């Protein structure tokens, strides 16, 4: 079998990938791996290239929200209705009447921060559920919706705490950060996460930072007929028209910057979270009903970037999907993982003592060719660290 580097170089040379940046580190300083791959005639992918990381924003926003808990501004399990009235007013979608109008009912359970961070609050993305997609078609939301309230004024899909659906909950958690601190999400993260970690190329607004914008890599879209990717000036759906920070999808950063957060959580250095708080990012957080809902999803639709074999050993932590067992080939129990729509990917395995990040800019999401490269990279990190 070819090595990851051979596979990545071939993918870039053949036009199957526009470019790749990967970084991996271990807990003890023995592994410090970084590599970039660029194709002739395309945009150069460098270590300091800036990528739209989409849902990789979620981990950073989750850390910000967890800091609020540390500061005593909110708890994980209190009712957030008084703090987030636009979220609190949402009802549960149950179906549609004969004339096509939606049928909703009031929720019974409170919505909590723990639920927002674990995608178990009842909120959802319109494209992940057929019933909600029908609602979006019925509502015909404004095409210029650029605030969290405008973009995600959608009904809940289940009682909070009683299901799982990948969701807009962390964008709502970003609203909570702004509400409780009186700062924009950008200002808060800069002071409390980015500056403490030395993340100097991270922002929600690259246009306001010429140096960052100058290093931004364009989005590429795969030509399904020929299998090659084409760089365009287009944006991904996750970054179009945003008028305020979206904590679940709006961050631009470099892979070295993002690695600083991953490594901080790996070594537990308390630069951004106390040890007891960081521990919850590596512990199961779902209720039994929500976990079963997640497992049902994992058995069906291919909806996650990266390899997730059918082990039935998954939960969700405060920061990402959690490996909840020992059946995986090399991931240890309580490894935390997630990704971004443009086929970016990260993982932290505290037991094995390794973490890694894979950066590219390819749409559409769930790109099969990128998936195989990500799987090869992840396995390569464990091999380089001597953990296979």
Active centre residues (catalytic): 55, 58, 166
The answer to whether 75 touches 115, Cβ cutoff 8 Å, is: no
Residue 269 CB neighbours (<10 A): 13
Rounded to whole angstroms, the Cα distance separating 239 from 232 reads: 15
Distance CA(174)–CA(160), nearest Å, equals 18
Q: How far apart are CA 381 and CA 355, in angstroms?
A: 8
Q: Is 133 helix (H, G, I), strand (E, B) or coil?
A: helix
- Dihedral over Cα of 286, 290, 295, 299: its sign: negative
Q: How far apart are CA 279 and CA 302, in angstroms?
A: 29
Question: Omega before 223 cis (within 30°)?
Answer: no
Integer CA distances (angstroms), 218 to 18, 42, 152, 342, in order: 9, 10, 26, 11
Phi-psi region of 182 (alpha: psi -120 to 50; beta: other; left: phi over 0): left
Alpha helices in the chain (DSSP H): 4-13, 57-70, 85-88, 113-117, 130-139, 148-151, 169-181, 185-189, 195-197, 210-214, 255-267, 275-279, 288-299, 368-384
Q: Are 352 and 382 in contact (CB under 8 A)?
A: yes
Nearest to 356 by CA among 324, 330, 327: 330
Pairing, β 220-222 against β 362-363: parallel
Sign of CA dihedral 48, 52, 55, 59: positive
Residues whose CB falls within 8 Å of the CB of residue 335, separated by 6 or more in sequence, listed in order? 322, 323, 328, 347, 348, 349, 350, 351, 352
């Amino acid at each position: 079998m070819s090595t990851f580097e051979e596979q990545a170089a071939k993918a870039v040379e053949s036009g199957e990938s526009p470019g790749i940046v990967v970084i991996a580190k271990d807990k003890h300083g023995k592994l410090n791996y970084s590599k970039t791959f660029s194709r002739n005639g395309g945009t150069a992918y460098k270590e300091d290239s800036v990528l739209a990381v989409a849902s990789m924003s979620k981990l950073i926003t989750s850390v910000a929200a967890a800091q609020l808990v540390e500061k005593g501004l909110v708890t994980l399990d209190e009712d957030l209705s008084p703090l987030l009235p636009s979220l609190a007013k949402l009802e549960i979608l149950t179906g549609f009447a004969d004339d096509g109008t939606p049928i909703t009912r009031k929720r019974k359970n409170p919505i909590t921060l723990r639920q927002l961070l674990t995608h178990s609050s009842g909120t959802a993305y319109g494209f992940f559920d057929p019933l909600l997609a029908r609602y979006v078609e019925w509502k015909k939301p404004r095409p210029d919706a650029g605030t969290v309230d405008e973009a995600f004024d959608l009904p809940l899909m289940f009682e909070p705490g009683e299901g799982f659906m990948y969701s807009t909950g962390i964008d709502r958690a970003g609203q909570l950060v702004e509400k409780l601190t009186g700062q924009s999400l950008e200002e808060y993260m800069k002071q409390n996460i980015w500056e403490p970690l030395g993340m100097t190329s991270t922002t929600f607004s690259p246009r306001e930072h010429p140096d960052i914008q100058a290093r931004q890599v364009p989005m590429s879209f795969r030509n399904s007929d020929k299998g090659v990717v084409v760089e365009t000036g287009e944006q991904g759906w996750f970054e179009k028209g945003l008028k305020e920070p979206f904590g679940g999808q709006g961050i631009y950063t470099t892979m070295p910057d993002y690695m600083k957060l991953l490594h901080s959580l790996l070594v537990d250095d308390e630069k951004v979270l106390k040890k007891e708080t960081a521990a919850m990012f590596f512990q199961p957080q779902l209720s039994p009903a929500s976990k079963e809902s997640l497992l049902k999803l994992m058995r069906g639709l291919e909806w996650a970037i990266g390899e997730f074999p059918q082990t039935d050993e998954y939960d969700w932590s405060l920061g990402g999907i959690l490996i909840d067992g020992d059946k995986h080939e090399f991931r240890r129990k309580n490894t935390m993982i997630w990704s971004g729509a443009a086929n970016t990917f990260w993982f932290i395995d505290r037991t094995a003592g390794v973490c890694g990040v894979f950066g590219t800019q390819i749409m559409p999401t769930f790109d099969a060719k990128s998936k195989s490269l990500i799987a090869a990279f992840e396995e390569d990190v464990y091999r380089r660290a001597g953990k296979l």
